[in-house]
């Protein structure tokens, strides 16, 4: 399954067998990651809501779609090797 | 039960058709359907495989990886329909032969992501042929090797032993997860190629890669983590990595210690990710997580520092 375009009628590979608790935990970790790029994330009704600081928002159903929308809202690539991000996560 | 698909890729003239023809001559592989992708108007390879014509579908005048992915899915579905209608004999597996210039990634993606195909088929393994005389031929050849679960070095009888040894070292550096078999005239035991994705996992390196000179811009790095890997953090990390650097990450394959009895097998070819598989046990005594990443534009140290930071954020303290 494609990590970027989602999974078309199937669960995303990273979310197989997820319960609500896992999704909330994932949203919290995503929120910490994306705060480095000026975005926030919350779990909402089986989806994720991604917001920027200017009122922009997107509702996505899985991780694959989340990165596409987060990148669009941030207006730049979101690199997991970004030294600033790693410093934030390690703080 | 899903029908396994074997994807055979390899550069032009590297011996794909010879290999497939010899495999299909084996009685135990008689119940195999073949889909051949040909460039150009005359499907020469198709005729070489006419022994199984009845179940051979030719995708003509286009490369299956960039133009005919829909056709591949259509043909796979059509094979099932014809089998169920009794129009063709029963088959237990499908071999898809790509064109020599095909990047196998979109084909893998089609097999894993099409709305219907994954319900009926499972991508069992990717085999890449490499010409033992001429070695790797350009970027597509490198991508084919990176995507492979098993490598077949063809024409070993025509190559100098020294150059064959050097080619094996080159392939090992490029894709250490895939064993390389020297095969003359397609003469190989089928079970060495058709063992599914869970074979040879003991080949996954148990020591981190050492940065140094690489023969290609694309190379493999190996990450080894002593501590348990948080699956949620790993999923976030890998999906983010593939979004940001998908074009430069050709392959990820590894075993993760996520706290269960056995490891979790992770296997993806660029954006195409196999559903993770929980294995019953580790392939050897070393139970540390190990991950091979094949691509360009990153070092093993960078990837490991990033993955550790994500996992550390999930499990502070």
Which chain B residues contact residue A13 at CB under 8 A?
A: 235, 273-276
Residue in chain B nearest A91 by alpha carbon: B313
B148: left (phi over 0), alpha (psi -120 to 50) or beta: beta
**C-alpha dist (Å) from residue B122 to A19, A26, A53, B306:** 26, 29, 43, 32
Contact A33 B313 (CB under 8 A): yes
Chain B environment of A32 (Cβ under 8 Å): 313
What is the distance between the terminal CA atoms of chain A, rounded to a whole angstrom? 34
Is B15:B186 a contact under the CB 8 Å cutoff? yes
In the sheet that holds B93-97, the strands lie side by side as: B56-59, B32-37, B93-97, B3-10, B121-131, B150-154, B180-183
Q: What is the mean pLDDT of residues B236-260?
A: 93
Rounded CA gap, B65 and B179, in Å?
24
Reported ipTM: 0.92
Does residue B233 belong to the interface with chain A, where contact is any CB pair within 8 Å? Answer: yes
User: What does the pLDDT look like over B91-125, one tens digit per residue?
Assistant: 899 999 988 777 888 888 888 888 888 899 999 99
pLDDT in tens, B13-28: 899 989 998 998 888 8
Q: Are strands B3-10 and B121-131 parallel, antiparallel or unpaired?
A: parallel
pLDDT digits (tens, 9 = 90+) for B80-91: 998 899 888 888
CB atoms under 10 Å from CB of B105, counted, come to: 21
Distance from CA of A54 to the nearest CA of B (A): 23
Give the H/E segment covering residue B169: helix B161-174
Indicate yes or no: CB of B272 within 8 angstroms of CB of A89.
Answer: no
Number of H helices, E strands in chain B: 10, 13
Greater pLDDT, B38 or A41: A41
Contacts of A78 in chain B (CB under 8 A): 240, 243-244
- Residue A7 confidence (pLDDT) above 70: no
Within 8 A of B304 by CB-CB distance, chain A residues are none
A22 contacts B310? CB cut-off 8 A: no
Q: Is A28 on the interface with B (CB under 8 A)?
A: no
Cβ count near A7 (within 10 Å):
24
Interface test with B, best of A9, A12, A14, A65 (most B CBs within 10 A): A14
**Residue B85 to residue B74: CA distance in whole angstroms:** 16
- Crossing angle of the two packed helices B300-314 and A83-90, in degrees rounded to 10: 30
Strand partners, B265: B255, B277
Interfacial B residues in 239-278 facing A (CB < 8 Å): 239-246, 268, 271-276
pLDDT of residue B139: 85
B255 DSSP assignment: E
Question: If you average pLDDT over each of A29-43, B71-85, B259-273, which comes out highest?
Answer: A29-43
Task: Show which of residues 28-67 on chain B sit within 8 Å of chain A, judged by CB atoms.
Answer: none
Question: Which of A49, A47, A48, A56 shows the shortest CA–CA distance to A74?
Answer: A56
Question: CB of A7 within 8 Å of any CB in chain B?
Answer: yes
* A83 touching chain B per CB within 8 A: no
Token output for B19: 């290999």
Given the DSSP bridges, would you call strands B180-183 and B150-154 parallel, antiparallel or unpaired? parallel
Binary contact (A89, B268; C-beta < 8 A): no
Q: How far apart are CA B11 and CA B31, in angstroms?
A: 26
């Amino acid at each position: 399954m494609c990590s970027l375009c989602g999974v078309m009628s199937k669960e995303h590979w990273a979310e197989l067998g997820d319960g609500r608790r896992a999704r909330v935990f994932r949203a919290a970790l995503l929120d910490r990651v994306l705060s480095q790029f000026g975005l926030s994330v919350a779990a909402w009704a089986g989806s994720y809501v991604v917001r920027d600081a200017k009122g922009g928002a997107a509702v996505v159903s899985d991780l694959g779609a989340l990165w596409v929308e987060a990148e669009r809202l941030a207006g730049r690539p979101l690199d997991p090797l970004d030294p600033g991000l790693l410093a934030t996560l390690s703080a | 039960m899903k029908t396994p698909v074997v994807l055979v890729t390899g550069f032009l003239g590297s011996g794909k058709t010879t290999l497939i023809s010899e495999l299909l001559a084996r009685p135990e592989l008689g119940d195999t359907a073949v889909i051949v992708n040909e460039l150009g108007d005359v499907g020469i390879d198709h005729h070489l495989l006419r022994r199984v014509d009845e179940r051979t579908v030719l995708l003509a005048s286009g490369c299956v990886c960039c133009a005919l992915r829909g056709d591949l899915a259509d043909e796979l579905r059509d094979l099932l329909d014809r089998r169920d209608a009794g129009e063709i004999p029963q088959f237990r597996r499908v071999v898809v032969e790509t064109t020599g210039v095909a990047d196998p990634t979109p084909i893998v993606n089609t097999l894993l992501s099409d709305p219907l195909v994954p319900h009926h088929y499972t991508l069992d393994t990717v085999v890449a042929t490499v010409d033992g005389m001429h070695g790797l031929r350009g970027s597509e050849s490198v991508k084919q090797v990176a995507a492979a679960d098993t490598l077949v070095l063809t024409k070993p009888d025509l190559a100098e032993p020294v150059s064959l040894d050097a080619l094996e070292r080159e392939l090992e550096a490029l894709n250490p997860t895939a064993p390389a078999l020297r095969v003359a005239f397609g003469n190989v035991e089928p079970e060495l190629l058709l063992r599914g994705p869970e074979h040879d996992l003991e080949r996954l390196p148990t020591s981190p890669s050492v940065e140094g000179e690489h023969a290609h811009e694309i190379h493999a790095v190996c990450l080894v983590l002593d501590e348990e890997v948080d699956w949620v953090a790993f999923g976030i990390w890998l999906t983010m990595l593939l979004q940001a650097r998908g074009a430069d990450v050709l392959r990820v394959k590894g075993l993760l210690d996520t706290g269960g009895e056995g490891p979790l097998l992770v296997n993806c070819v660029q954006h195409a990710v196999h559903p993770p598989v929980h294995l019953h046990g580790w392939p050897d005594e070393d139970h540390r997580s190990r991950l091979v990443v094949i691509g360009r534009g990153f070092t093993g140290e960078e990837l490991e520092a990033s993955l550790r930071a994500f996992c550390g954020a999930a499990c502070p303290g």
